[in-house]
Amino acid sequence: MFSYDLRLALDSLRRNPGLSALMVLAIALGIAVCTVTFTVYHAMATNPIPGKSSQLYHVTLDTWGADRPYDDDKPDEPPTLLTYRDAMYLYGAKAASRSVVMYKSGALLLPERQGVKPFVATLRVTSNEFFPMFDVPFQYGSGWDAAAEEGPQPVVVLSDETNQKVFGGENSVGRTVRLGKNDYRVIGVLKPWAPSPKFFDLNNGSFEDPEDAYLPYGWGRALEMPVYGNTNCWKAEAGNSYQDFLNSECVWLQFWAELPTAADRDRYQAFLDNYARSQKAAGRMPRPLNNRLYDVGQWLDRNEVVQRDNRVLIGIALLFLGVCLVNVVGLLLAKFLNAAPLTGLRRALGASRRDIVRQHMTEVVLLGLAGGVVGLLLAVGGLAGIRSIYGSDYNRSAYERLTEIDPTVVLVTLGLALLAGAVAGLYPSWRIGRTAPAVYLKTQ
Amino acid sequence: MLEMHQVTKAYRTDLLETHALREFSLKVGKGEFVAVTGPSGSGKTTFLNVAGLLETFDSGAYRLDGEDVSRLDDDARSRVRNRKIGFIFQSFNLIPDLNVFDNVDVPLRYRRLSTADRRERINAALDLVGLSSRVKHLPSQLSGGQQQRVAIARALAGDPALLLADEPTGNLDSLMARQVMDLLEQINEMGTTIVMVTHDPELARRAHRNVQVIDGQVTDYKPYEPHAASVTVLHPHATEAAAG
């Protein structure tokens, strides 16, 4: 019976090509707007490290001054970064299963290969547990160990993109790259890896690319490497040397702890609070105790990676789809009622109400599917438009990531289109299913 | 085959109540060919609609082919219509987008028959009405008489117990009307019960028996006696009304 319904539906759609196209377009427009907004929202709201996001915690301590909060808009929130001395204490205490202290920096990279120009490589200066903690995948080699970090030894891990650029994508483990004034031995090359959002460092944009290379944290201090991120201070302090900077109350370091269980988390919270109390006793941290652990989801919320505007936009897009569907309902009603004499005839010849409803629902589901496909194409065009309008050379990859349609979005879009078609067709189909068989037979 | 007892049917609006059938009683035997005549507005079509389970009625009883169909729900009525009743309409009521084969196929589709079974029935029905060579034609490519024969094939393909014909020759010229009547007689001789509503006394005379309906009631009723064709008119104006 399905094949018969399908044939009748196709015949019906072909019979009124203009009307059919109008309905497909109405559904497609609604779907396209929803798909574009959903794609961006989906990219923003996707869990960047599923399976582990509730075990990884961004660590904060309220080291800010008493006069005013760190963030006037969120006066209850502690600073998002740590001072050097606090980060070093927490890192040295090893109170978590894994802990990572890090910041973003950069240096001029001088490639050996002929024809490749020097470029400023972004660097993540980080402790060695960065790689296992964030499940960073390696293509060649591995990260460094604690000994290499203490040295620090001149080792570097390259991103896939950097390895492509500098070594043509070959296994470069053991080769040397020059960063700034120093040579580093490549000990690892990552697979293509770009968690989105870039949850582990939201300072420089939530959707920017990960860094080009990774250096042991010890080099940061040894080479006094610059901070490519936020450095916030609340009091005037001596700033004559790098050591002064390290001793200051300025916050600039990111700190993450891996705490697999709730008990681990509670223990770590107590550890943080005890540490803060000891610092208060020593005359630091004048604000009330406010040390927080944010898991990945909470951290993304705290930084408003998905802004309320994005959620509102989803609502508006759905509303627009609703308006489109109301129009489709009207057109379907007009179309179905116009064909009521034929429906009456089918009823007279033995079609039950269910048969009639199913026949018409097949038609509207087909319309929905066509609307979904056209809507998807429109959405692809729309997203390309967003990329071309907003994506500059600086942030192109971020926009590409945000506007990329993935299989989930395609499935959701087609599902939404089918649902939209079904919803739009439900009332008209039910209504036409109530056609009394006798009414139109004389006039048909 | 068809047995109506004291059937009443009224159409109601806020202001008006029109009694289309009043205590309408009629028996049609198996294999009978009955012509139902009467003036316009007398209730003939309402009777046909009720008999064909296209409309419900208010009170009374109706048995069709031995089954009480008085209070069936909509689904069951659709099923009985599909399996036991064939319809022939004055305006043919073919589906303009479907070719001859597919038009005849419509009721069979709703019976969920296999493709082979449907094909066999359609071909047999089209053979009977002499349109086997026109299976791919659209209704618009056929004459009125041919269209009515397609409608007859559609009604017959389901092998109905009862054929209901509403002015089957009303839209045809006299030659084609005669051909259609010949076909109906042939079908009746093969054992199918036919109830035909008509204004045409000439056609009515070709039935086994005439039933006169006036003001929603059977005014002339005579039980069926097999092989005894009869035309009895009790109402003084019936012949005029029927002719008009």
* A96-150 per-position pLDDT tens digit: 999 999 999 999 998 877 788 899 999 999 999 999 999 999 999 999 998 888 8
pLDDT of residue A401: 67
What is the secondary structure of A93-141 as a DSSP string? HT-SSEEEEEEEEEEEEE-SSTTPPPEEEEEEEE-TTHHHHTTPPEEEE
Residue among B49, B75, B95 minimizing CB distance to A345: B95
The string of pLDDT tens digits covering residues A161-182 is 999 999 999 999 999 999 999 9
**Position B84 pLDDT exceeds 70:** yes
Q: Do A352 and B110 touch (CB under 8 A)?
A: yes
Q: Do A438 and B49 touch (CB under 8 A)?
A: yes
Q: Do A438 and B54 touch (CB under 8 A)?
A: yes
Q: Which residue has the higher pLDDT, A390 or A300?
A: A300
**Position B175 pLDDT exceeds 60:** yes
**C-alpha distances out from residue A324 to A28, A235, A331, A431, Å:** 9, 57, 11, 20
Give phi and psi for A36, each to the nearest 5. -60, -50
Mean pLDDT of chain B: 84
Beta strands at A98-110 and A119-126: parallel, antiparallel or unpaired: antiparallel
> Which amino acid appears at position B95 of this protein?
I
The string of pLDDT tens digits covering residues B91-147 is 888 999 899 999 999 999 998 889 999 999 999 899 888 888 888 999 999 988 889
Residues of B in contact with A354 (CB under 8 A): 75
Residue among A355, A436, A444 minimizing CB distance to B110: A355
SS3 state at A385: helix
pLDDT of residue A396: 58
> Which amino acid appears at position B221 of this protein?
Y
Total number of residues shown for chain B: 244
ipTM: 0.85
How many whole angstroms separate alpha carbon B64 and alpha carbon A309? 67
Give the pLDDT mean for A373-398: 76
Give the pLDDT mean for B14-32: 88
Using only the alpha carbons of chain B, give its radius of gyration: 18
Would an 8 Å CB–CB cutoff place A14 in contact with chain B? no
Q: Do A349 and B54 touch (CB under 8 A)?
A: no
Would an 8 Å CB–CB cutoff place A273 in contact with chain B? no
Give the pLDDT mean for B170-188: 84
Domains parsed from chain B with CATH numbers: 29-55+75-243 (3.40.50.300)
Taking any CB pair shorter than 8 Å as contact, residues of chain B touching chain A are 45, 49, 52, 54-55, 74-75, 78-79, 81-83, 87, 89-91, 93, 95, 97, 106-107, 109-112, 154, 158, 166
Say if residues A55 and A133 touch (Cβ distance below 8 Å): no
The string of pLDDT tens digits covering residues A235-269 is 888 888 999 999 999 999 999 999 999 999 999 99
**Partners of A333 in beta bridges:** none
Mean pLDDT of chain A: 89
What is the secondary structure of B188-243 as a DSSP string? HHTT-EEEEE-S-HHHHHTSSEEEEEETTEEEE-----TT--B----STTHHHHHH
